[in-house]
Amino acid sequence: MTVQLSRRSFLGSLGALALPTLVPGSALGLNGAVAPSNRLVMGGIGLGNRGRGVLGSWGLPEKDIQFVAICDVRKDRREGVKNMVDNHYGNKDCAAYIDVRELLARKDIDCVYIATGDRWHAPMSVLAMRAGKDVYCEKPSAMTVREGQAVVATARKYARVYQAGLQRLSEPNFIVCNELVRLGRLGEVKKVYAHLYFGTPLYLQRTWLPAQPEPPKDVVDWDKWLGPCAWRPYNAEYLSRWPHFYDFGTSIIGDWCSHTYAQCHDALGMETTSPVYYPCMHMAEPNGMALRFANGQEMIAEQRGWRGTCGVRYVGSEGWVSCADGYTRPDVSRPSLLADYNKILSDYCLRTGYSTENHMRQFFNSVKTRQKTVANPVLMHRSMTSTHCANIAQWLGRDMRWDPVKEQFIDDPEANRMLARTPRPGWEII
């Protein structure tokens, strides 16, 4: 093919070659900056108090991350995140959206951080992965068993990296606890204990609050706030107390045990399955609720026994280990279990390819390498299934038996109908 080039164009091209090109050092990765080719571009969806805290501590400080956009249906939170990001970078570049479809349509965004209310976690993760984005999503990452299945299937279909916000899976103390089980240091482990703290109720409200005047859509877009949930009239109390309502929350079991059950599943090597037996405790605070896996191992929800929150305790034939938030080192039955604490951590990193950096940093590393995350979709789904089935047993008031292969209750049609929630017409995302 012959290309015609005018004299002016030809001389112009010579001029371009003759003049030196001035490239800023930041574009080349000089002076401590990260070159754009090595940088991940990130957006945020629904970042309230938790989301802003995580973004400010784990997201913005990373030099290879550029946060460029926030989507939130609440104006106060939308503007709050934009101001925080703009102040961090010293510019006014952070875009702000009400409609998530506008954010997800941006081709420059590689990954998103989702910290909406529970009702939006799985649907938003599915929408983001369909749009080609990798996802870091806060817990509890699914409201139902069917939602968890959808997240797993979508991540596989679109080859997306997904990390659930189960940050203790990346914290050294908890890693060592789980490694002592995996390495056989505790002998045969028959019972593991998961901390259960009652901040929100087990039996959630199913009534509506009185209707209030709906605010302008740019202040709170009520329709988008509800999303797939059943419609109800606006009441400002929902904006802060939504975890107390069945349509929006997963009870304290889903909220709290999403962390602690995931730890136990990970330690026991139960990433791809769930317990087969769920007892009804016939009490508002089911202390001692013992779920049982097919091999006889029990995962017991306990309110007491730790000096901090989100604790786990593993008891074996040759010793025990316990850890919770705020521990300097895990508690153990004998000091020798922690004699090689640092080696346990280094061997873990060498074997798995993970580090002991913060949980979001682990996500960024996996986005770059495409390595499976430590809080991957399957572990998230199976441990969340444990919480959903435990909830259903309490709500229906009877013991339940579960088939983890078919992913359904055995001989209980009523319980199986609770494995999914019908989306509002027009919001059929999953």
- At 320-346, the pLDDT tens digits run 999 999 999 999 999 999 999 999 999
Cis peptide preceding 140, ω within 30 of 0:
yes
Mean of pLDDT values over 115-129:
98
pLDDT score of 144 more than 50: yes
**pLDDT bracket for residue 19 (50, 70, 90):** very low
pLDDT score of 27 more than 80: no
Asked whether the domain spanning 168-202+249-357+378-419 has the same topology as the one spanning 33-167, the reply is: no
Distance of CA 312 to the CA centre of its chain: 19
- Mean pLDDT of all residues in the chain? 92
CB 195 within 8 A of CB 309: yes
Model pLDDT, residue 31: 54
Task: Find out if CATH 3.40.50.720 is the number for domain 33-167.
Answer: yes
**pLDDT bracket for residue 389 (50, 70, 90):** very high
CATH level 3 topology of 168-202+249-357+378-419: Dihydrodipicolinate Reductase; domain 2 (3.30.360)
pLDDT in tens, 404-420: 999 999 999 999 999 99
Mean of pLDDT values over 360-387:
98
Q: How far apart are CA 172 and CA 265, in angstroms?
A: 17
Model pLDDT, residue 25: 44
Residue in the block written with tokens 């606006």? 234
Model pLDDT, residue 197: 87
The full set of domain ranges for the chain reads 33-167, 168-202+249-357+378-419
Q: For the CA atoms of the chain, what is the radius of gyration?
A: 24
**pLDDT bracket for residue 28 (50, 70, 90):** very low
pLDDT in tens, 74-91: 999 999 999 999 999 999
**pLDDT bracket for residue 21 (50, 70, 90):** very low
Model pLDDT, residue 12: 37
pLDDT in tens, 284-303: 989 999 999 999 999 999 99
Percent of the chain scoring above 90 in pLDDT: 89
Q: How far apart are CA 318 and CA 178, in angstroms?
A: 15
pLDDT score of 306 more than 90: no
